[in-house]
Chain A
Amino acid sequence: DAGVTQSPTHLIKTRGQQVTLRCSPKSGHDTVSWYQQALGQGPQFIFQYYEEEERQRGNFPDRFSGHQFPNYSSELNVNALLLGDSALYLCASSEGQGFTDTQYFGPGTRLTVL
């Protein structure tokens, strides 16, 4: 049974560009959450998708947007990239809107903005 997968593994972009990151949840999971982990810091919650809608959002600007597809996979989009967006982006999946400790994290996508 595949766990949470994310693509790509690494990505290099320049300021002002747009990026799309992808996540496939663990089999049977219907909820996907996205986190940003800056170097030397803990993960920070960006938003969560359930039933193809954004249900919860952290303190991130509108440049960060997402989507969830009928097969529960999800995308994170970041527009107008800033140097400060350089980070590891983690996806986590769970059941039932995340009211559980059992979130399963993917390995992350390392985004570098030059």
Chain B
Amino acid sequence: DQQVKQNSPSLSVQEGRISILNCDYTNSMFDYFLWYKKYPAEGPTFLISISSIKDKNEDGRFTVFLNKSAKHLSLHIVPSQPGDSAVYFCAARVYNTNAGKSTFGDGTTLTVKP
């Protein structure tokens, strides 16, 4: 039973346009959500997070939206840049628990074309 799902294995967008990456979760106990970015031959790096008391969190070009009733979150990248091409992982856990308790999705490979 996969508790965190990223249903799109890949996404391709044009430079300057918006990238929208989606994530769904099934465990109602999850109340803290994170996005990580991973380049080839590197480990994942933390990108942005959101707790369930918010429905939006913004950091520069990156915005995460949370829809608790739908158990759905999305990461918006505006404008997309070629350097954003990477694998993006969505992760979820219960807030204030050990980061190792995060459950990861299988990732979405984003390709931004110049």
* Chain A residues near B (Cβ < 8 Å): 4, 33, 40-45, 47-48, 55-56, 58, 90-92, 94, 97-108
Report which of A45, A91, A103 forms a contact with B46, defined as CB distance below 8 A: A103
| Whole-angstrom distance between the Cβ of B21 and the nearest chain A Cβ | 13
Inter-subunit contact A90/B34 (CB<8 Å): no
* Chain B residues near A (Cβ < 8 Å): 4, 9, 34, 41-46, 49, 89, 91, 96-102, 104-107
For B91, list chain A residues within 8 Å (CB).
Answer: 42
Q: Known contacts A92-B43, A107-B42: does B104 contact A43 (CB below 8 Å)?
A: yes
Q: Can you sample 17 A-B contacts with CB below 8 Å?
A: A33-B99, A40-B9, A40-B106, A40-B107, A41-B106, A42-B4, A42-B89, A42-B91, A42-B107, A45-B100, A45-B101, A99-B98, A100-B99, A102-B46, A104-B43, A104-B45, A105-B43
